[in-house]
């Protein structure tokens, strides 16, 4: 196992997942005093593992036709577009 790659992926995913909607939904389920927190933890962990497996499978499939550099460029442009649209929406909402 490549520990440098592991640490890089772990750090990127950990930061990206902090305080996102997935974590907030998990927090809400765990806040219910009538539920098993172990069940909430196991279900949310399994969902994240499954979603990650889909991402790995999709990335493996797409990489057969698109280079890693192109995928990074497309992802970067996509994030910038989403950011700009979010800013525009925010400015329009406050007007």
Do residues 35 and 76 both lie within one domain?
no
pTM: 0.71
- The band of 20, judged by pLDDT with boundaries at 50, 70 and 90, is confident
Domain count along the chain: 2
**Whole-number Å distance between alpha carbons of 14 and 11:** 5
Task: List Cβ neighbours of 17 (8 Å cut-off, separation of 6 or more).
Answer: 23, 48
Do residues 10 and 40 both lie within one domain?
yes
Do residues 47 and 85 both lie within one domain?
no
SS3 67: coil
Residue range(s) defining the domain that contains residue 4:
1-64
Summarised one tens digit per residue, pLDDT across range 23-78 is 899 999 999 999 999 999 999 999 999 999 999 999 999 999 999 999 999 999 99
Report pLDDT for 18.
83
Do residues 31 and 50 both lie within one domain?
yes
């Amino acid at each position: 196992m490549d520990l440098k790659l592991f640490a890089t992926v772990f750090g990127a995913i950990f930061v990206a997942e902090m305080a996102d909607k997935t974590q907030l939904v998990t927090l809400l389920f765990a806040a219910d005093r009538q539920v098993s927190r172990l069940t909430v933890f196991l279900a949310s962990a399994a969902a994240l593992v499954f979603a990650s497996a889909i991402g790995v499978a999709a990335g493996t499939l797409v990489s057969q036709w698109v280079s890693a550099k192109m995928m990074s460029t497309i992802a970067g442009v996509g994030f910038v577009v989403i950011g700009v649209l979010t800013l525009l929406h925010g400015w329009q909402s406050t007007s």
